[in-house]
Amino acid sequence: MSEQRPLSNRQTQFSDAFRSFITSHWAPYDPQLPAPTAGAHAAAQHREKLSKHFPGERIVLPAGGLKVRNNDCDYRFRPHTAFTWATGLGTDREPDAVLVMEPTGDHHEAMLFFHPRVPRTDEEFYADSRYGEMWVGQRESLEEMTALCGVRTDPIQALSQAIDTKIPTRVVRDPDPDLATKIDVWRGGSTEQADAELAQVVSELRLIKDDFEIAQMRQACEATAAGFRAVVAELPNAVAKGRGERWVEGIFGLHARHRGNAVGYDTIAAAGDHANTLHWIRNDGDLRNGDLLLLDAGVELDSLFTADVTRTLPINGRFTPAQRTIYQAVLEAQRAGMDAARPGAKFSDVHQAAIKVIARKLEEWGLLPVSAEESLSPAGGQHRRWMVHGTSHHLGLDVHDCAQARREVYREGELAPGMIITVEPGLYFKATDLLVPEEFRGIGVRIEDDILITEDSCEILSSQLPREPDAIEAWMNELMIS
Q: Is 160 helix (H, G, I), strand (E, B) or coil?
A: helix
The answer to whether residue 299 sits within a structural domain is yes
Same domain, 184 and 289: no
453: left (phi over 0), alpha (psi -120 to 50) or beta: beta
Same domain, 396 and 469: yes
- Among 82, 52, 51, 78, smallest CA distance to 67 is for 78
Q: At 70, which helix (H) or strand (E)? A: strand 68-70
The answer to whether residue 167 sits within a structural domain is yes
HSE value, Cβ hemisphere, 13 Å, CA-based, for 390: 11
Instruction: Identify the pLDDT of residue 1.
Output: 42
The answer to whether residue 21 sits within a structural domain is no
Instruction: Report the distance separating Cα 239 and Cα 224, nearest Å.
Output: 22
Quote the pTM value.
Answer: 0.95
Contact by Cβ (8 Å): 282, 267: no
Domain coverage including residue 158: 34-205
Contact by Cβ (8 Å): 291, 313: no
Domain limit, last residue, from 150, 178, 205 = 205
Tell me whether the omega of the peptide bond preceding residue 94 falls within 30 degrees of 0, making it cis. yes
Rg for the chain (alpha carbons), in Å? 26
The answer to whether residue 117 sits within a structural domain is yes
Instruction: Identify the pLDDT of residue 186.
Output: 85
- Predicted confidence pLDDT, tens digits, the chain (482 residues): 445 556 666 667 899 999 999 999 999 999 999 999 999 999 999 999 999 999 999 999 999 999 999 998 999 999 999 999 999 999 999 999 999 999 998 899 999 999 999 999 999 999 999 999 999 999 999 999 999 999 999 999 999 999 877 889 999 999 999 999 999 988 877 688 999 999 999 999 999 999 999 999 999 999 999 999 999 999 999 999 999 999 999 999 999 999 999 999 999 999 999 999 999 999 999 999 999 999 999 999 999 999 999 999 999 999 999 999 999 999 999 999 999 999 999 999 999 999 999 999 999 999 999 999 999 999 999 999 999 999 999 999 999 999 999 999 999 999 999 999 999 999 999 999 999 999 999 999 999 999 999 999 999 999 999 999 999 999 999 999 76
The answer to whether residue 402 sits within a structural domain is yes
* CATH value at residue 220: 3.90.230.10
Kindly provide the b/e burial profile for residues 220-233, where b requires at least 16 CB atoms within 10 angstroms of the residue's own CB: bbebbbbbbbbbbb
Strand order in the sheet with 98-104: 152-155, 107-114, 98-104, 58-62, 169-171
The answer to whether residue 411 sits within a structural domain is yes
Instruction: Report the distance separating Cα 384 and Cα 464, nearest Å.
Output: 30
Domain count, the chain: 2
Domain limit, last residue, from 144, 176, 205 = 205
The answer to whether residue 333 sits within a structural domain is yes
Domain limit, last residue, from 188, 205, 222 = 205
Instruction: Report the distance separating Cα 3 and Cα 128, nearest Å.
Output: 10
Q: Determine what percent of the chain falls in helix, strand and coil, rounding each to the nearest 5.
A: 40, 15, 45
Same domain, 368 and 406: yes
